[in-house]
Structure 1
Amino acid sequence: MEKKKLAYLQIHPKDNVLVALRDLPAGYEVDFEDKQFPLIEAVAAKHKFTISDMHKDDEVYMYGVLVGKVNYDLTKGSLINVNNLRHASDDFRLGKRNLGWSKPDVSMYKDKTFLGFHRSNGKVGTANHWLVIPLVFCESRNVMTLKNALEEKLGYQVESKDYADEVDVMIAKFQAGASVDELLDVDLSAAKANKSKSRLFENVDGIKFLNHEMGCGGTRLDSDALCGLLAGYITHPNVAGATVLSLGCQHAQASILKEEIQKRDPQFDKPLYIFEQQFEGTEQELMQKAIKATFAGLSLANAHSRQPAGLDKLCIGLECGGSDGFSGISANPALGYVSDMLVSLGGSVILSEFPELCGVEQELSDRCVDEETASRFMSLMKTYNAKAEADGSGFYMNPSPGNIRDGLITDAIKSAGAAKKGGTSPVVAVRDYPEPASQPGLNLLCTPGNDVESTTAEVGSGANVVLFTTGLGTPTGNPIAPVIKVSSNTKIYEKMNDIIDINCGTIIDGEETIQEAAHRILDYVIDVASGEKMAKAVVLGQDDFIPWRRGVSL
């Protein structure tokens, strides 16, 4: 049956504004329920208009929740904009548990598998990477030197060739069948070049370099959180092992990193090589040891291969960036249905971006499995917002100029749509950054709304795939987990299809339902998780990595 494309939409029966699904001219005759009226002015697609006369301070509802109050009297058919609407949201309190939900039919996925990398702790990766990490920004230059020396020589892209001769010697030794111990004992003092650009380690998807500007000089809270985040990446199922460079005197000590690793994986057995420059001596000694260790580790990582795994081994991060007025009615609810399907299959999902849950706290806290979990969520939300307000901001300042331009006038409007990514299943756990959040079911993770900081955090907390919705377009990716971009509208998908993987504008266009789009998304996730398709962000090498400083970031 052909699906009809509508001109406007009421999202929830309680809503007293409608969303324009296409550009509507001034004077356009609206026929909604028992009301007929003309639009006072033109309403662009994605924007909202009133369905009755409103008086100053009257409440505006969308998605069934309070999203703002009008600043002055409005006639029905008026365009909602930043001048006549201000942010407002309902207060929230500990309520009764509301754990009932309609599980989607997942019978067609019951026996499906993906091809992943099985780790000894029972987790399964969707990729197989080696990490090179600085514990402090002082080592960033050395990390970049390793990047320039290793990436091109090993077939993982790029540019410069510092320490390239040493890499050539290691290639020759590996190809000659050298053991791990022999690789660690190679003499690199007289290295000579032997150029090779093909990928040497066929089962290793990449060497990823997680440079950052933290580790010392800030608060101990930030340096400890950095160690927790890096431990999350090292223990991540998409990672086979890591080389870590430390200066030695910084706040982010190697001992703290090891403690954080043990918290996340008490039986941790991946190869991990840590070098402190103040102990090793010269840069040359440090770098040559790091190259030898990295090669030894890569040879071990290369022994892993993809094997079938159940979909319960997937942990999907739910993210949005560059959102628009269609995000909450197309791409985000499609992800919400994917979330419910994966939870029904025994998998894990992570919903983060706490500033973009403002106004839906009551619903989410009521969906928490117990009062302790609900109380933690409410406490984190209140503490975060209070800190933002003390620093002269607040969740109400979250929408960007692009969000506002495309219909997200208040933070509550943006949040009500963003929360749709979490579906309807119960909240099984609430985690604070950078805690692990991969418990089967729906996890809430406290992060900023900042796209890269939040994506970085979700992956550090266990997401082995990220689904990222966008209405305006964004290139965001991650070094170790594929970030699959999902557009809310067809126009941006066609305009930026080099960075966007999936179009959910088909829902707005009346070509498919939310459920049909969700099935298409999950099928794509399985292909990407199996290595059969590459997310656009991976193809482009979009390796964004920004740890969150626990100051205010919205």
Structure 2
Amino acid sequence: MVQEYKRPFLHIHQVDNVLVALTDLPKGTLVEHEGLSLMLTDDIAGKHKFAINDLDMGDEIYMYGVLVGKATEPILKGGAITIKNIKHAADDFKLGNRKTSWAQPDVTNYKDRTFMGYHRSDGSVGTANYWLVIPLVFCENRNINVLKAALLDKLGFSKPRGYENEVDQLICMLQTGRSIEEILQADLQMTPESGSSKKLFPNIDGIKFLNHDMGCGGTRTDSDALCGLLAGYITHPNVAGATILSLGCQHAQAGILQAEIKKRDPNFSKPLMILEQQKLGTESRLLHEALKQTFAGLIEVNKQQREPAPINKLCIGLECGGSDGFSGISANPTLGYVSDLVVGLGGSVILAEFPELCGVEQEMSDRCIDEPTALKFMSLMRNYNAKAEADGSGFYANPSPGNIRDGLITDAIKSAGAAKKGGTSPVAAVLDYPEKVSLPGLNLLCTPGSDVESTTAEVAAGANIVLFTTGLGTPTGNPVAPVIKVSTNTKLFNRMPDIIDFNCGTVIEGEETIEQSAHRLLNYVIDVANGDIKPKAVQLGQDDFIPWKRGVSL
């Protein structure tokens, strides 16, 4: 109901010629805003937009202060903006003047704050402490799975809750003559998780197994990028050491991986075991060596303990998935303010998903610290879109059916809201996949908009915590970096409490400002960095890991 909200609609930017409905508004509703009076000519669902003046075919539509589409047919004042009457459009961009001044937020309350983290020899600090087991090529995936089955339970590392008990109940119903209808209507009873044995290595958060389908058979560019990505994980502050299984003949050679590790950490000193099956001979010998060497490494890294670290040792990945019409109004601006706070404290943040920066290229390039950085960003954006166009699907095809259903009907609308995650600070660096962050401040990382591919890349770039906004609900996690799920609306927060950690629906309801929400979120981030709170993705074992094949992925 309209009366549940302190404001039923929102005018995001003064030049916008649309308003956003914050709740369902029926046809005939009288809307009065800053001297404007209009009556809705359509039912407007919450999260969707309506015109504040008559629009002719070809007229430009603005939201967030930027061009987001053009009318494909006349739209009456008070009429709904839909996929039937608007198409994607975005302004072109060029090298402009530097616009690097920004209103840095007050960070006084965080100056002396610390978090308890794992200090690494390269100066980085982890928010967790993991051991990795990685195949250099998909041929080793089976051996990786054998190691996983052998190690996890015996060493006391917990695994996600299974549903074996529910299957037992279904079998029992079948065996006792229950009908299909009775089975479908049955209320299956969940049982408490059976606890794993006591952890043998209490200072290690887990062993993570990064299976993938790459390493050979594709392009050399992809296999080289895979080595860079894996090197990013091995040198990651949340990783204590790693076991690598190589077949031997694949494109992704151990030597390439070692060179990529050296590139990211010239004085690399973590335990690293690289085992090649074709040299060792039998599968059993490979697995016996992997078990022994991994066990020895775990003994060593279990000596590491959390110690105080300043907030500037945080590197925050900024991600969104399952976005809705509230993403750019509540959760993404909240992340943007958190981003500015972290940058103000000397930390690093990563804004990725380049297809979702379409339409805001001019703003982002103007915010780049110098012209070479701006030119790198512009080149990456143009080349990426050109490749997508050549394959028959430009950036315009990025919004998913769920995005469209919940108000993001053009890529420019989606992008203008997604960019809010990056706050207002200058762009310190532009990184191409799979480069690693080396400078404090806001970093732009070229990745797809695909949630898991982008999150995978952000962590490889150094993110030791990821903030992930969602309006529809997305179960994405990461093997080594805590992923904090932030909902754009309270309905989602209440409907999917098993995967959502933090609610920004309070902003939509007028109960909280963006600034208040951001301070609450940053305190939550510090608790996660301390290890005091485990986000839902960590609790559920959502260890999503998908390397980007450099072909088109939106």
**TM-score (normalizing by structure 1):** 0.92
Name the residue aligned to 2:189: none
1:124 aligns with 2:125: yes
- 1:223-372 matches, within 5 Å, as 223-372=223-372
| Superimposed CA distance per residue, residues 324-358 of structure 1 (whole angstroms, 9 cap, x where no aligned partner) | 00000000000000000000000000000000000
1:36 positional shift: 1.1
1:435 aligns with 2:441: no
| Superimposed CA distance per residue, residues 197-221 of structure 1 (whole angstroms, 9 cap, x where no aligned partner) | 2110000000000000000000000
1:4 positional shift: 7.0
- Kindly indicate whether the alpha-carbon contact (under 8 Å) linking 1:438 and 1:463 is maintained by their aligned counterparts in 2: no
Q: What is the SS of the residue equivalent to 2:303? A: coil
1:32 positional shift: 1.6
- 1:69-80 matches, within 5 Å, as 69-80=70-81
CA distance in structure 1 between the partners assigned to 2:232 and 2:544 by the alignment? 16
1:145 aligns with 2:138: no
1:91 aligns with 2:97: no
Q: Residue type matched to 1:431 in 2?
A: L
CA distance in structure 2 between the partners assigned to 1:5 and 1:153 by the alignment? 55
CA distance in structure 2 between the partners assigned to 1:497 and 1:362 by the alignment? 38
Q: Residue type matched to 1:113 in 2?
A: T
Name the residue aligned to 2:193: none
CA distance in structure 1 between the partners assigned to 2:290 and 2:314 by the alignment? 32
List structure 1 runs of 4+ shifted beyond 6 angstroms. Answer: none
Q: Which runs of 5+ in 1 are unaligned?
A: 160-195
| Superimposed CA distance per residue, residues 281-303 of structure 1 (whole angstroms, 9 cap, x where no aligned partner) | 10110000000010011011101
CA distance in structure 1 between the partners assigned to 2:121 and 2:100 by the alignment? 34
- Kindly indicate whether the alpha-carbon contact (under 8 Å) linking 1:349 and 1:438 is maintained by their aligned counterparts in 2: no
1:383 aligns with 2:404: no
Q: What is the SS of the residue equivalent to 2:240? A: strand
1:157 positional shift: 2.8
CA distance in structure 2 between the partners assigned to 1:505 and 1:38 by the alignment? 27
CA distance in structure 1 between the partners assigned to 2:31 and 2:197 by the alignment? 63
- Kindly indicate whether the alpha-carbon contact (under 8 Å) linking 1:136 and 1:216 is maintained by their aligned counterparts in 2: yes
1:23 positional shift: 0.5
Name the residue aligned to 1:465: 465
Name the residue aligned to 1:17: 18
- 1:150-229 matches, within 5 Å, as 150-158=151-159, 197-229=197-229
CA distance in structure 1 between the partners assigned to 2:76 and 2:69 by the alignment? 17
CA distance in structure 1 between the partners assigned to 2:259 and 2:358 by the alignment? 34
- Kindly indicate whether the alpha-carbon contact (under 8 Å) linking 1:148 and 1:158 is maintained by their aligned counterparts in 2: no
Q: What is the SS of the residue equivalent to 1:365? A: helix
Q: What is the SS of the residue equivalent to 1:67? A: strand
CA distance in structure 2 between the partners assigned to 1:488 and 1:117 by the alignment? 32
CA distance in structure 1 between the partners assigned to 2:5 and 2:459 by the alignment? 39
CA distance in structure 2 between the partners assigned to 1:460 and 1:158 by the alignment? 23
1:438 positional shift: 4.4
CA distance in structure 2 between the partners assigned to 1:514 and 1:147 by the alignment? 43
- Kindly indicate whether the alpha-carbon contact (under 8 Å) linking 1:233 and 1:460 is maintained by their aligned counterparts in 2: yes
1:34 positional shift: 2.1
Q: What is the SS of the residue equivalent to 1:142? A: helix
| Superimposed CA distance per residue, residues 246-299 of structure 1 (whole angstroms, 9 cap, x where no aligned partner) | 000000000000000000000000000000000001011000000001001101
Name the residue aligned to 1:546: 546
Q: What is the SS of the residue equivalent to 2:476? A: coil
Name the residue aligned to 2:67: 66
Q: What is the SS of the residue equivalent to 1:329? A: coil
Name the residue aligned to 1:133: 134
Q: What is the SS of the residue equivalent to 2:428? A: strand
| Superimposed CA distance per residue, residues 405-431 of structure 1 (whole angstroms, 9 cap, x where no aligned partner) | 000010000000000000000000000
CA distance in structure 1 between the partners assigned to 2:228 and 2:264 by the alignment? 9
1:482 aligns with 2:482: yes
| RMSD between superposed Cα atoms in Å | 1.1
Name the residue aligned to 1:177: none
Q: Residue type matched to 1:380 in 2?
A: L
**TM-score (normalizing by structure 2):** 0.92
Q: 1:503 to 1:158 in 2, by over 3 A?
A: closer
Q: Residue type matched to 1:416 in 2?
A: A
Q: Residue type matched to 1:56 in 2?
A: M
1:499 aligns with 2:499: yes
Q: Which runs of 5+ in 2 are unaligned?
A: 161-195
- 1:93-108 matches, within 5 Å, as 93-108=94-109
| Superimposed CA distance per residue, residues 354-413 of structure 1 (whole angstroms, 9 cap, x where no aligned partner) | 000000000000000000000000000000000000001000000000000000010000
CA distance in structure 1 between the partners assigned to 2:5 and 2:70 by the alignment? 33
1:73 positional shift: 1.1
